[in-house]
Structure 1
Amino acid sequence: MEQGPMRRERSINLGRHDFAFGIGLRVWIVVGAIIIGTAALNVLDVLAPVIEFFAVGSLVAFVAAPIVNGLEARGVSRSAGGLVGLAVVIAVIVLILMIVAPLIFSQLLELFSRVPQQLRDLGDWLGTLAGDFKFLAEYSWASQLGTVFDTVADNAARYAATVAGDLGRGVIPFISSVGSQLFIVFLGLVLAYWLVCDYPRIHREIGTIVGEGHEMSYRFMVAILSRSVGGYMRGTIITSAIDGALSFVGFLLIGHPYALLMGVLTALFHLIPVVGPVISSAFATLVALFYSPALAIWTLIICMVAQNITDNVLSPRIMQSAVSVHPAMSLVAIVVGSALMGPLGMVVAIPLCAALKGLFIFYFEKQTKRQIVSWDGAVFQGQPFHDEAGDPVPAYDALGNDSFVSDSQLISDEAAPSAEAEPKPPELENPWANLMALNNLQARGTSVFRNPFASENDDSAGDGTKTS
């Protein structure tokens, strides 16, 4: 008679034990993951210079590869083409340091010297404005605005004096203070030279090592990395320069006192997706507010117009040679990159994130035979490709393009798979792209804004069919 209740009690105790064991196991899994993650971050922090070295070398190589390939197609050896590519990069850096940097430093010095007095003037103006409204006189904070801004101005004056002293010493001391960083960058440029010179032979040797069965997957993987990293960096640099130039011209027209500085900051912050343009616009508008509310409003309008022209009209054409990244992924990548490698990490994080996304698409579709890329997707939004049987083509879905594989010289036209691109639904078309004046703004057109790195076979319409 008692065996039934005892058996039920024993089963209840076993159930409680299993439940407690499951909870404890989950807790220890979380604790172990935190410990492993912390250890991995510490290791990455120690290896940050090594990661930076490989990142600089790989990025420069990916960016310079199309230039070297183009020169090789015109009969120039890869060694000479590599030197030309690096010479262009170094010339641009020297040009910026020798011409643009002194002008920026002078405007920064002027800006920092005027900030304290402008803060006091702003406090007086707000105090007067608060006094004109009787209902604000009841609040104590309204009468203390001038005192608060005077305190902020005094602190800003001390900070501005320190920063102005550092800037006043010029570019050379700044370069000396980051000498170790520049040495790593120099070694990265050397690595980039050898990569662009020998990468066809390197890929051939690695293909032999991985074997005939995996060689094609390896070459597609390299093509995905090249398009993600190189295409993104080239497109971002071009769009950033255009955004900065448009903003600079607009600031000049409205009489912004720091037009050049704000234009350069706009271009630099445009390199940081999502948050960068917002920060540069807010900063330019705030500086203009010190002079007049009307100038601040016009500055904000210029920023919005320049960003819309760049992001909605020009960027879809220019960035067609890159793999897109969802804003949420961009923010996560920026935070992780900044934590690991500082400002440089913020710049390289997005293309590396795009590369990881492309690799995931390639291997997911290859293993599951399910197409994750679609026109109306979110994280995996893009142009889907199908073969003759209607199955997804993982390589082209990951690349977002059916001509890059052959253009990159990684895979011959005979070995590249045949694919048909799915047309973009009319309801998803960008209305900005239908502007009559911009209908001929193709990637390889004769327009001023053409992308010099785009392929002749790039199908910007997105509805073409290619048979390799």
Structure 2
Amino acid sequence: MQIDRPAIAEFALKSLVAIALIALALLIWHLRDAALLLFAAIVVAVILRGSAEGLQRVLPIGDNLALAVATGLITIVVAGVFILFGQQMAIQFSDLAEALPGAWSNLVDQIGADRVDGMVERFAPQGSTIAGVVQSALSIVTSVATGLVLAVLGGLYLAANPATYRAGALRLLPDDARERTARALDATGQSLRSWLLGQMVLMAVVGVVTAVGLTLIGVPSALALGLIAGLLEFVPLVGPIVAAIPGVLIAMTMGVETAAITAGFYLIIQQAEGNVMEPLIMRKSVSIPPAVTLFSIFLFGGLFGPVGVLLGGPLTVAAFVLVRVLWLNDDMQRSSA
């Protein structure tokens, strides 16, 4: 009986990978806050490094200078948006915060207090109150803002010298696992870069179209609602649905007809985004089935909370590519060609 040594070696390698993934999952669970912060820093580093390499294709400059220029340009663009529209957005967000309670009361009057109370008791945690929900929301916003600052700083360090951190991570692995892991890291980085670039374009397009459309319909605080829609576009599938809720609530205060038009407008945007814009903009990104994306976001949300939902998109992309390369031994470059 002849022993198939390559098959045994392949099976042993897959078994080791499976054991390593389980151990890594347990470690991440115990250190989930730090793991999410590290992943957020990696996302920031991918954005900065991708922007720097894009500049290097146009200008003959070195890595460090390109990274500094890219970081400066991104900072200038963000600051410019706040300088040009910050005051107007602040006013509209203030108006939106004042209008939402009235819009909610209007919804309660139309649907019925008993039905609304039943829905709140079904989906809200037992014993929760409105004040508790608001306090939890403020706590989440504060933690996200703090984490964002730390992620940006960590991303700058990672983007400055990614090869050093990549080589250091590979040295922790056995020699026979380094080649495939290196391919997995490269494929994951490329897929994240393509996904993030496409997602940022989608966020900008959806935000502008939503603000313009709601302005034409006559919905108040259209700029603020457009910004909300653009930011929540970062969360695939779930974000656009959540972004439509405040817009429809505000429109209901103007009448049933305006609310119906607004709901239809949001539906048209979501259909156009899913069937037209996303296939065109994301054609160079990794293709993930919508059901896998949806359940992955629910999974990451259940494991890591609201921040897991926020980072559910890039987490899904990274996990999908790592499984294909490490477990299925799939050549991402060949399959995407």
TM normalised by structure 2 equals 0.72
2:195 is aligned to 232
Judged with a 3 Å threshold, the aligned counterparts in structure 2 of structure 1 residues 274 and 290 are, in CA distance, closer, same or farther, namely same
1:52 is aligned to 36
1:396 is aligned to 333
Structure 1 segment 3-14 matched on structure 2, within 5 A: none
Identity %: 20
SS in 2 for 1:321: coil
- Equivalent of residue 65 in structure 2, options 61, 66, 80: 80
Structure 1 segment 200-239 matched on structure 2, within 5 A: 200=163, 203=166, 217-239=180-202
Structure 1 residue 97: deviation in Å? 6.2
Q: Distance in 2 between matches of 1:352 and 1:298?
A: 35
1:251 is aligned to 214
1:359 is aligned to 322
Range moving further from structure 2, 110-119 or 251-260:
110-119
Judged with a 3 Å threshold, the aligned counterparts in structure 2 of structure 1 residues 322 and 215 are, in CA distance, closer, same or farther, namely same
Judged with a 3 Å threshold, the aligned counterparts in structure 2 of structure 1 residues 83 and 345 are, in CA distance, closer, same or farther, namely farther
1:264 is aligned to 227
1:30 is aligned to none
2:242 is aligned to 279
Q: Distance in 1 between matches of 2:182 and 2:230?
A: 34
- Do 1:63 and 1:230's aligned partners in 2 also have CA atoms closer than 8 Å? yes
Question: Does residue 162 of structure 2 align to residue 199 of structure 1?
Answer: yes
- Do 1:82 and 1:197's aligned partners in 2 also have CA atoms closer than 8 Å? yes
1:170 is aligned to none
Question: Does residue 63 of structure 2 align to residue 107 of structure 1?
Answer: no
SS in 1 for 2:286: coil
Larger Cα-atom Rg: 1
- Do 1:325 and 1:350's aligned partners in 2 also have CA atoms closer than 8 Å? no
1:312 is aligned to 275
Question: Does residue 297 of structure 2 align to residue 329 of structure 1?
Answer: no
Q: Distance in 1 between matches of 2:93 and 2:214?
A: 18
Residue type at the aligned position of 1:103: I
Q: Whose RCO is larger (CA < 8 A, sep 6+)?
A: 2
Residue type at the aligned position of 1:49: D
1:299 is aligned to 262
Structure 1 segment 44-193 matched on structure 2, within 5 A: 44=28, 46-73=30-57, 74-91=59-76, 94=79, 99=86, 102-112=90-100, 114-115=102-103, 118-119=106-107, 122-123=109-110, 178=142, 181-193=144-156
SS in 2 for 1:62: helix
Structure 1 residue 199: deviation in Å? 2.2
Deviations 1:36-71 (CA, angstroms, capped at 9, x unpaired): x9xx77x64552331122112100111222211133
Residue type at the aligned position of 1:110: E
Residue type at the aligned position of 1:112: L
1:136 is aligned to none
- Do 2:194 and 2:285's aligned partners in 1 also have CA atoms closer than 8 Å? yes
Structure 1 residue 320: deviation in Å? 1.9
Q: Distance in 1 between matches of 2:116 and 2:321?
A: 53
Q: Distance in 2 between matches of 1:222 and 1:151?
A: 48
- Do 1:240 and 1:270's aligned partners in 2 also have CA atoms closer than 8 Å? yes
Judged with a 3 Å threshold, the aligned counterparts in structure 2 of structure 1 residues 343 and 207 are, in CA distance, closer, same or farther, namely closer
Q: Distance in 2 between matches of 1:301 and 1:82?
A: 43
Range moving further from structure 2, 50-59 or 317-326:
317-326
Q: Distance in 2 between matches of 1:196 and 1:53?
A: 15
Q: Distance in 1 between matches of 2:42 and 2:152?
A: 9
- Do 2:180 and 2:325's aligned partners in 1 also have CA atoms closer than 8 Å? no
Q: Distance in 2 between matches of 1:222 and 1:193?
A: 19
Structure 1 residue 238: deviation in Å? 1.7
Structure 1 residue 201: deviation in Å? 5.4
Residue type at the aligned position of 1:352: L
- Do 1:335 and 1:346's aligned partners in 2 also have CA atoms closer than 8 Å? yes
Structure 1 segment 409-424 matched on structure 2, within 5 A: none
Residue type at the aligned position of 1:300: A
1:26 is aligned to none
- Equivalent of residue 306 in structure 2, options 343, 354, 360: 343
Residue type at the aligned position of 1:318: I
- Do 2:180 and 2:326's aligned partners in 1 also have CA atoms closer than 8 Å? no
- Do 1:107 and 1:261's aligned partners in 2 also have CA atoms closer than 8 Å? no
- Do 1:229 and 1:352's aligned partners in 2 also have CA atoms closer than 8 Å? no
